[in-house]
Every structure is written in C-alpha cells, then in structure tokens.
Structure 1
Amino acid sequence: MDLAAEFRTITPLSEVAFRLAVASLCGMALGIDREIRGKSAGLRTHMLVALSSAGTTLVTLEIFEMLKATGHTDMDPLRIVQGLAQAIGFISAGVIIQARRDVHGLTTAVNIWLCSAVGVAAGAGLHALALIITLFAAAILTGMHFIEKWVFRKGPRD
C-alpha cells in the first residue's frame, strides 16, 4: 500500500488546511457576538458549522474532480451544497424558541446559517468572499446591536 497515495488530494494539502483555517476563523469571528451575549450557540458552534461546511465543500470538490478524471461528468456538486443548506436550516431551527408570543433565537439561527455559507465559500477556495461576508456580518451584528440599544432604546434581544 502506497501511504503517500492515501493522503493525496487534487487540492494541495496546504491549500486544504488554509481553506479550513479561513472557515474556522470566520466562524469564530461570527460566533464572538453570540458568545458575548450568552447565546446557546457561541464560538465553538459557529466555528464547527463553518468548518464542517468547508469540509463538506472540499470533499464534494475532491469527489467531483476524481470522477471527472475518470470520465464521469454527470455529478452536480451543487446538490451537496443544497443538502448542506437544508441540514443547517434544521440545526438553526433548533435554536429558535417561541414563548409567550415572543420569538427568541432568530439572529443566532441566521448567524449559524451564515456561518455555513462562509464555510462553503472558504471550502471552495473563495477566501475573499468568505472574509467579506464575515466582515459584513460582524458589522451588522455589532453595529445594529448599538443602534437598537441606543437609538431605539430596546433592551437586549436576539
């Protein structure tokens, strides 16, 4: 058995590691706000969602390229991303709580879903897109919190 062949990927392993690191760091950046506010889905959850989405995207791209090299071109890698979006939607729904005519957890749920999109972008090698999405989301999470708190004089909400 050729051990080197077992670890060979179409995408260089250094690029794989970089993509996974970008996803994890972006997930961390998006999870900081939720962690600071004491929400159930914090740093680790957001980092793992982004990492798992990047990992799923990388696996999909690797399988697609391997099949393409053998002449099988009928696979659509976007179907994997669609399935991932549905799974993340299911996980995000678990964060939403409805009690006494009030709904909590929507921002955290959407943030988890967004982390998945960031992970897909990072896994696909779209580093700039992953970083720009993260910057916009972090600005929205932080900036809108202050606007809601100071301009609209609302209490802490999710």
Structure 2
Amino acid sequence: MDLSSLPDFALPLLAAVLAGGLVGFEREWRGRAAGFRTHILVCLASALLMEAAVSQGAWRFDILPGAQIVSDPARMAHGVLTGIGFLCAGVIFRAGFSIHGLTTAASLWITAAIGLLLGAGLFALAAAGTVLTVMVLLILRLVSRRLPQKAVVDAEIVWRRDAAGAEAAVEAVVTDLDRRWRNDRFELIDGGESVRRTLRLKAGDGAALKALAARLRTVEGVTGYRLDPRDD
C-alpha cells in the first residue's frame, strides 16, 4: 500500500463524511450533544478502520515463508461496534427519573455501522441505511408530531411539611391533568422541614404543562417544582 492507492480509498472516505453529516444534521439541528462533527468523525473512523481491515494483506509486517494471510474484516467490525458503545454511553444521561440521549446514542451506533459498510465497499447498502436513518430522524418525527399523543412528564414538587392540606391540594391539581399519575419517590429535605415528591404523569401539550405550573403556584405551601417532559 502506497500513495498510489489513495484514489481507491477516497470514495469510501468522502462517502463516510457525507453520510455522517446527513445523520448528524438532525442531531445538530436539535441541539444534541453529538452533532455534525461527532457523527462525521464516527462514520469516518469506522470507514478508515474497515478499509484497513480489508487491506490487511498490504500491512507492513514480515510474512513467514510458506505462510498465508487470512483476513477477517468482521473482527474489525465487531471491535468498532463494541468500542462505539462507550461513546454512546457518554451521551446518555439521567435527569431525575428521565433518561435522555437514547436516540442520539442510537444514531451514533448506526452511523458507525454505515461507516463500516462504506469501508467494506458496500455502497448501496450504506446508502440505503443512510436514507432510512435520516427518514427515521426527520420525517418520522414530523409525522409523530401530527399524531395525537401525550408526553410523559417527570414532576418534582416541594412543599413545606407544616403546610396543612398542601399534599391533598397537589394531588388534586395533578389528578385534574392525569387521573392515572403515579408516585415515584417521597423525600424529606431541608432538615425535615420540606417534603419533595416525584410523580410521573402524562400531559397533552405545552399549554397543559403551563396550566399545571400556574395551578401549582397557587397551592399554599408549595415552595418549588420542576416539570421535566421527556424528549429524546
């Protein structure tokens, strides 16, 4: 392998940059932690490593007399997809009882797979995977917005322990929004002076959350709240 071989590797690498950019566009647009550059680098790195694996016969090492080189590019693919798991874990985080970043982690994982396909020369399969991934991230999201649905909301509400009737009033407000809400956790905080309760409920839209927040502010004894809609 020498400089004369570079033109043969240029197309898979350029295709990896394009595919990674297309997948990363939606994440960048959504303001996620892994955007354009991260997806491009993941796809490019995967393509580079796979190209190196399929060109193992051109590696610089001494071959024993009579020995034959049997390459197994699938082992490189396994290694890349295993290693990308550590990067994916870095974009998944927990806020209260909500898990965020799963879609971004999945997009990184499939971007690595697309890069491996490009490095192996499977351009048609890689192109199909890129198009389908972009459709899932962009088009299906637009479709889901038009469907009637309710977002899961993690609500954290704090009230003074000595506030008579605060707990019942909070439950009444939450029940008006979602009759099937459920408890997650009870806590005593501020040295036992306040109660913090975490609930899980469903809300139709932003207006419903605003109405819930406005009603919680009117409850005597409530000192704080946090309404955390799940959005991946």
Please report the TM-score for the alignment, with normalisation by the length of structure 1: 0.85
Q: Give CA deviations for 1:80-126 in whole Å, capped at 9, x if unaligned.
A: 11111111011111110112111110000000000000000111111
Q: Residue in 1 aligned with 2:117?
A: 121
Judging by fraction of residues, say which structure has more strand: 2
Query: Helix, strand or coil: the match of 1:56?
Result: helix
1:7 partnered with 2:81: no
**Which amino acid in the other structure matches residue 157 of structure 1?**
D
The Cα of 1:128 is off from its aligned counterpart by 1.0
Contact kept, 8 Å, 1:23 with 1:130, in 2: the verdict is no
Q: Residue in 1 aligned with 2:36?
A: 43
Q: What's the % identity of the aligned pairs?
A: 35
Alpha-carbon distance in 2 for matches of 1:26, 1:122? 9
Q: Give CA deviations for 1:34-80 in whole Å, capped at 9, x if unaligned.
A: 010000100010011000000000111111x337xx64334422111
Judging by fraction of residues, say which structure has more helix: 1
What are the ranges of 5 or more consecutive residues in structure 1 without an aligned counterpart?
A: none
Alpha-carbon distance in 2 for matches of 1:35, 1:66? 38
Q: Residue in 1 aligned with 2:58?
A: 66
1:157 partnered with 2:153: no
Q: Residue in 2 aligned with 1:22?
A: 15
**Which amino acid in the other structure matches residue 116 of structure 2?**
V
Higher relative contact order (CA 8 A, sep 6+): 1
Pick the aligned partner of 2:72 from 69, 73, 76: 76
**Which amino acid in the other structure matches residue 16 of structure 2?**
A
Contact kept, 8 Å, 1:88 with 1:116, in 2: the verdict is yes
1:137 partnered with 2:130: no
Query: Helix, strand or coil: the match of 2:91?
Result: coil
1:104 partnered with 2:100: yes
Query: Helix, strand or coil: the match of 2:33?
Result: coil
What are the ranges of 5 or more consecutive residues in structure 2 without an aligned counterpart?
A: 152-204, 206-229
Q: Residue in 1 aligned with 2:81?
A: 85
